[in-house]
Amino acid sequence: MDFSNLFNFIAHEWVLVATLVVLIFLYMWRERVKSGRLLSPHEVTQLVNQGESVLIDLRDAADYKAGHIVNSINIAYTKLTTDSALVAEHKAKTLILVDKMGQHAGTVGRKLGKEGFTVCRLNGGIAEWKAQTLPLIKGK
């Protein structure tokens, strides 16, 4: 494969290429921010202790029972993506979304953010919480 044409284009049209790179970066940043700020487990603990937030666990009931963060509310990802009224009573507080590894919280966060909720996400999900050997409640 001959990359000489690509390199020539980049060399001659560097302004266009730089603009494209900046636009891609801005788009990715905007999408990330829209879905809620990422929080470390330490930051989550601080917010919860201050009473200014509510933990929403997006995992299914079986995973939730296997181990969840104390005082978290289990609302499955599939339910919350279709019915934000499930968290309407918590609109005045910051919602901290928790999932297995961070794969679904962004989607839900984006949806709830558009509806006026203040949303944050646990960076790395419950997997990161476990990796830092933080306590989990089993059962319930």
Measured CA to CA, the distance from residue 119 to residue 108 in angstroms comes to 9
Flag whether pLDDT at 31 surpasses 70.
Answer: no
pTM for the whole thing?
0.76
Q: For residue 72, which of 50, 89, 95 has the smallest C-alpha distance? A: 95
Sign of CA dihedral 133, 53, 112, 110: negative
Measured CA to CA, the distance from residue 138 to residue 104 in angstroms comes to 22
Tokens of 132: 């830092």
Tokens of 85: 């009224």
Place of tokens 């009473």: 51
Q: pLDDT tier at 34 (50, 70, 90 boundaries)?
A: low
- Mean pLDDT computed over every residue of the chain: 89
What does CATH list as the number for 36-131? Answer: 3.40.250.10
